[in-house]
Amino acid sequence: MSSGHHHSHPPQEAHSNHEPDLPFWQKYIFSVDHKVIGVQYTVTALIFLLVGFCLMLLMRWQLAYPGKEIPWIAGWFSERQMLGGIMLPEFYNQLGAMHGTIMIFLGVVPLAVGGFGNYVIPLQIGAPDMAFPKLNMASYWLFLIGGVIMISSFFLPEGAAQSGWTSYPPLSVVAAGGQTTWLVGMLFLIFSSLLGSMNFIVTIVQLRADGLTFFRLPFFVWAQFVTSFLLLLAFPPLQAAAVLQFMDRVFHTSFFLPSGLVVAGKVLEVAGGGNPILWQHLFWFLAHPEVYVLILPAMGICAEVMTCNTRKPLYGYKSMIYSTIFLGFMSFVVWAHHMFLTNMGTKMSTFFQITTMIISIPSVIILTSLILSLWGGSIRFKTPMLFAIAFLPMFAIGGLTGLPLGLTAADIHLHDTYYVIGHFHYIVAPGTLFGLFAGIYHWYPKVTGRKMSEVLGKIHFLGTLIGMNCIFMPMFIMGIAGVSRRLWDPTQYAHAVPTQPLNVFISIAAWCMALGQIPFIINFFGSLIWGKKADDNPWQATTLEWATSTPPPHGNFATPPQVYRGPYEYSVPGQRTDFLPQNVKGDN
């Protein structure tokens, strides 16, 4: 790790030339190899995504048929969760809080950053491993411990956290249940993220192959680079806030509790003098950059998949990079647009409205560049490409519907309604997740040496695309009608009754989409056995991960690659092939 130029570093070459003879548990379980860790992250995160998805499938029953007995599976739950087969409100709130927490902190981010970042970055920059392999292993295991703590809270007598993934005090401080467990789990996850992000930054700065300048890096690496800075700088405030909330709950301090609280008819015996809004500031100072942590890696993956499948260089490579950097900076000064209704002054809300509008500009540049990259290409509609293409309109819907929420006047009516849920799910679910699915289908052959089935892939794509839109599009209608989120029984409100049929429709769509994931699960595991053998460069791509053998050996490259050009030299005139890898000298 001490040297940035490993071509002049003999021990690493020796290291990369022979497969070390390690016992099984060191090679595949407590491994320090970035590829094994990347696969561990990917598989773990996919399992967590499935768990988080299942929680939502349960909640969808209660939302579609409030207060009705759950068929078939009611017996699986304890009396603290379901009474007579009917979901209790406190269990519904637990499912809601944990769905958000699991999807974001245990699913999407670990998959996008821990999984893809770990596996792909060292290969794409021509490095033998991450800069700090042991730290890398530590961040995976911290993540796993944090995840297990989170999930295990469902099995504790008091149940899981039930104050939303946002955990706003005073509710989160006075709430019964596993909020303390949630905070402890978060501390582990944040430590994991911090170690990982430092590792990525050092790796990208220090371990790039000879000739691989910053403006020859694949856009995916750039996206991960900016993401790592966001994680590194945004998480510490939440770390501090989580410790303070932990103190409030366990040691009865009052960091977030004002004086004179009367809870359930009793004056709360605490010192008081705290401020509940402080938590929201600290939380959103992380959680807004977190949105870009979710979206940037997916955009990076789309750039890789789209250039490869259009056989054409990226449109506006540099402006995309500048936009990404600008986006990273701006993401730190928009957080309070989540808090427009907390009685902030008009000067503050004016500032945050302006920054929110400004941050949409680089997003539009990136999206427009990706769409324009299709122009003049020769588009191959392989499964990864289908997901990458679908990412574009899905992200566009998610981004555009952020506009009314970013304007305080429109936000008055839409705040905390289903409109918000539709908006951020379009960003994260059909947006980011489509990017991540594209990445799985794209790099699977490199990781496993086998291709995934195109037929199953296309079925999975269609089912997911239709499912996602049937789930999230109606939410905008519900939100405009004023239906609030996080309601155990929406039909209690007269203004939510007219759109209740949409809840039934959404639930059925969600259950159907769950069935639509079965082809993916079969494909993911089955292709390990039945998949067609893949050669070193099955997609005829240009970036360095395709320049080594499939699957790459320990140490990645037999000889350190030399880079001659930018990442997306497809269809270069005067060449025999329509792709010119970064490490190949070329025909003339």
Partner 1 sequence: MNHYYGWGLPVNISTHGAAIDHLIYVIHIFMAVLFIGWFIFLIYALIKFRSRDGHKAIYDINHFKVPTYLEVFVALLEVVLLVGFSFPIMNQVRQQIPDKSKALEVRVLGEQFAWNIHYPGPDGLFGKSAPEFMKPGSPVGLDPEDPIGKDDVVTINQMNIPVHRPVLVHLSSKDVIHSFFLPVMRVKQDAIPGQSIPVWFEATQTGKFEIACAQLCGLGHYRMRGFFNVQSPEDFAKWLVSKAPKKRIPATPRVPAPLKSFVEDSTATVASHTTAPS
Q: Is 61 in the site for partner 1 (CB under 8 A)?
A: no
Q: Is 341 in the site for partner 1 (CB under 8 A)?
A: yes
Among 12, 193, 227, 310, binds partner 1 (CB under 8 A): 310
Shortest separation between residue 165's beta carbon and partner 1, angstroms: 10
Pairing between strand 86-87 and 266-267? unpaired
**Is residue 239 a contact partner of residue 187, using CB atoms and an 8 Å limit?**
yes
**Is residue 300 a contact partner of residue 346, using CB atoms and an 8 Å limit?**
no
Q: What is the DSSP string of 450-506?
A: BPPPHHHHHHHHHHHHHHHHHHHHHHHHHHHTTPBSS-S-GGGSGGGSTTHHHHHHH
Over the window 353 to 372, marking each residue x when it contacts partner 1 by CB under 8 A and - when it does not, the resulting string is xx--x--xx--xx--xx-xx
| Whole-number Å distance between alpha carbons of 364 and 210 | 33
Determine the interface stretch with partner 1 among 98-106, 120-128, 443-451, 564-572 (rule: CB under 8 A): 564-572
Choice between 393 and 551, CB closer to partner 1: 393
Among 86, 333, 481, 508, binds partner 1 (CB under 8 A): 481
Q: Is 586 in the site for partner 1 (CB under 8 A)?
A: no
| Whole-number Å distance between alpha carbons of 542 and 216 | 12
Q: Which two tokens stand for residue 246?
A: 């932990």
Q: Which of residues 148-187 bind partner 1 (CB under 8 A)?
A: 162-164, 168-171, 174-175
Q: Is 490 in the site for partner 1 (CB under 8 A)?
A: yes
In 115-154, which residue ranges form alpha helices assigned H by DSSP?
118-124, 133-152
Among 499, 507, 523, 548, binds partner 1 (CB under 8 A): 499
Q: Is 68 in the site for partner 1 (CB under 8 A)?
A: no
Q: Is 237 in the site for partner 1 (CB under 8 A)?
A: no
Choice between 54 and 277, CB closer to partner 1: 277
Among 72, 79, 157, 262, binds partner 1 (CB under 8 A): 262
| Whole-number Å distance between alpha carbons of 157 and 491 | 30
Give per-residue burial for 405-417: e unless 16+ CB within 10 Å, then b.
bbbbeebeebbeb
Q: Is 276 in the site for partner 1 (CB under 8 A)?
A: yes
| Whole-number Å distance between alpha carbons of 232 and 195 | 8
| Whole-number Å distance between alpha carbons of 189 and 291 | 16
Q: Is 349 in the site for partner 1 (CB under 8 A)?
A: yes
Among 69, 78, 89, 455, binds partner 1 (CB under 8 A): 89
Q: Which of 543, 585, 546 is nearest to 566 (CA)?
A: 543
Q: Which of residues 9-48 bind partner 1 (CB under 8 A)?
A: none
Q: Is 88 in the site for partner 1 (CB under 8 A)?
A: yes
| Whole-number Å distance between alpha carbons of 18 and 558 | 9
Choice between 39 and 173, CB closer to partner 1: 173
Residue 551 preceded by cis peptide, ω within 30: yes
Choice between 176 and 529, CB closer to partner 1: 176
From residue 510, alpha-carbon distances to 24, 55, 98, 471, 516 in Å are 40, 12, 18, 6, 10
Among 407, 462, 466, 473, binds partner 1 (CB under 8 A): 407
Q: Is 71 in the site for partner 1 (CB under 8 A)?
A: no
Q: Is 477 in the site for partner 1 (CB under 8 A)?
A: yes
Q: Is 400 in the site for partner 1 (CB under 8 A)?
A: yes
- By CB under 8 A, how many residues form the interface with partner 1? 100
Determine the interface stretch with partner 1 among 110-118, 179-187, 305-313, 434-442 (rule: CB under 8 A): 305-313
